[in-house]
Every structure is written in C-alpha cells, then in structure tokens.
Structure 1
Amino acid sequence: MTNTENFFAPDAVFVTDQIKQDLVLKEVYDKLLERGYVKGNFLSHIVEREHNFPTGLDTKTLGQNIPNIAVPHTEGEFVNTRLIVPVALKNPVLFHNMIKPKETLEVKFLFMLLDNDPDGQAKLLASVMDFFADTPANELREVFNFTDPQAIYAFLKQKFMKKED
C-alpha cells in the first residue's frame, strides 16, 4: 500500500449546500480544476460515469443512523494526481445505489476518488472501504456530519494514517 499521508490535501476537502448531484459534482470540479487536481474534461466524464455506473453506498450494515455515502470517480486520464476528496453535503443529495442501480439513496458524504494511475483506483477504493470497516459507528456518524473542512481533513488524515502503523 502507498503512503496514506498523501491521500488527502487540506485544500481538497469541501462542504457544499447544493441539493442536486450534478451541481455538487460541478462545484467540486470547479475547485479541483482551479487547484490543478483535475483536467478540463473531468466534469463531463465523472457525471457520465455516475449516471451509468452509480456509486451510492447504503451504510445500514455499518451501524444505525450512519449517513449514506457515495464514491464518485472516473478514469485516470482526466485527473492529474492521486487523492481522496472528501465532500460533506449539508443537504441530502440523491445518488443511485452502486449495488442496486435502480434504487436511489439520500447521500450526505462523498469520497471522490482521483487517481492518474490506471490501476490505482481499486487501491483507493479499498482504502476507503477499510476505513469504513475499521472505524467505529459512532465515529462514522460524527465525521459524516462534520461541516468544517479542516475538521474533516484532520479526522480522515489521522484515521487513514493509523492504518499504516
């Protein structure tokens, strides 16, 4: 596994009050593009991929009252780096379920995966899934309701680094 210290960047943690999926992705894209993390054609590809291959995850199996999450991503040719981009949603946003694509889920938190290595996305996704498995339900509930980007960054950086110890 690669060094998890580089999975997050303090300037790539976002909180949004958008209420529609495409608007959330556009807002995050604009900021990521401005910071040089993604390429100009990233937005159309992540939106298209999300519509064709949904990434919403039902968190019921992780514990009671844990908000649902989504893990939007697209091919590495549209990004410039390797990063997990946490996005807290102040309002629930509908995403289709990854497992049951016809089902919609109210999502409150995103882990957007950026990886310019064609084989790397699976590793990033595995790290996120390990985080779910290794983090107590009360802590997941807490972080998925944070609305301060610095608090989200500090929590996730600490949790992901712990796995390396």
Structure 2
Amino acid sequence: MNDKAIFARDAVFVSSESNQDELLKNIYDHLLESGYVKGNFLSHIIQREHDFPTGLSTKTLGSDLPNIAIPHTEGEFVNTRLIVPVALENPIVFGNMIKPNEKLEVKFLFMLLETNPDGQAQLLSQVMNFLAKTPESELKNLFSFTDPDAIYEFLTQKF
C-alpha cells in the first residue's frame, strides 16, 4: 500500500481550540465539507472519545515529547481511508487510552478514518510503528510544526 495515500493535504490541521468537543466539531466541519466523513460522524466520534478515550502518553518515546491522541469511530460514519494529523496550539485534555480515568494534556492528534471495520487496527498499528521507529528529535520537530503544509510534507516523507 502507498502510505502517502493515507494523508491528504486538505485534511491536515493546526487548531487553536482548547476544548475537546469544539476541536472535534471544527475538524468534522472541514472533513464533512471535503466529503471525507458522513453527517453522523461528529456525534459518534465525540461519544466514542468519551466512552473509550484515545489519549496516549509519549513518555516511553522521549521525555520531552507531548502527549498525543488517536480519535476514531466506526467505518460506517466515514467515506474514505485517511489519517488526519492535527497540531494543537493549546493542550487539550483527553482521557488516557491505557488508564481511562487518567487525564492527559495532548498536543497532537492522529485522527483515523477507516471504512473497513477490520482496518482500524491496521491504521492504529501504522501510527504506532511510525512513532516507534521515528527518532525522538524528529517527532519533537513534527509535534512543534504550526504549518499544515509542513506537517503534510513531513508525514508523506517519513511515515
């Protein structure tokens, strides 16, 4: 599979939101307008994030790296297979995927869009492999970008 096909230049975001639900709505608005998701996507991704949080600590990857989140929902609410990177200007609190009662301040999202019910795990695995194999200094660089084009270029070259 061509990994570059799982990123789209018009589906890379830098957000100044400071509230999780508002952030997801803002991204949803753009994804819906571009035809990447269906009208019922927003309520499902918000509900899923509340029920099954997706925040991840990156401390095992490097002490200075910000935490990330990998929000996603079922494929029936999605029109295409895509990883949607989102850099956050302000940390947003997400529940921890491993310890759901613990809260994490997150600075970067990899939102997963997958139409195939079995593909969600594969996309998640690809993100985790990317994080594991990318040197800490390069991840730190990626997570500090404030330009969607820079994020897109980095990910299409390194992912």
The answer to whether TM tops 0.5 is yes
The equivalent residue for 2:25 is 26
The equivalent residue for 1:123 is 122
1:123-142 equivalent positions in 2, closer than 5 A: 123-142=122-141
Q: What SS is found at the alignment partner of 1:87?
A: strand
Deviations 1:37-95 (A, max 9, x none): 00000000000000000000000000121000000000000000000000000000000
Q: What SS is found at the alignment partner of 1:143?
A: helix
The equivalent residue for 1:68 is 67
Extract unaligned runs of 5+ from structure 2.
none
Q: What SS is found at the alignment partner of 1:94?
A: strand
Deviation at 1:141, TM superposition (A): 0.9
1:40-119 equivalent positions in 2, closer than 5 A: 40-119=39-118
The runs of 4+ residues in structure 1 deviating greater than 4 Å are none
TM-score, length of structure 2 as denominator length = 0.99
TM-score, length of structure 1 as denominator length = 0.95
Equivalent residues, number: 159
Extract unaligned runs of 5+ from structure 1.
161-165
Q: What SS is found at the alignment partner of 2:84?
A: strand
Q: Distance in 2 between matches of 1:97 and 1:141?
A: 20
Asked whether 1:144 is paired with 2:143, we answer: yes
> Which amino acid in the other structure matches residue 148 of structure 2?
P
Q: Distance in 2 between matches of 1:136 and 1:64?
A: 12
Deviation at 1:131, TM superposition (A): 0.4
The equivalent residue for 2:158 is 159
Deviations 1:121-156 (A, max 9, x none): 111000000001110001111101111000000001
Deviation at 1:3, TM superposition (A): 2.0
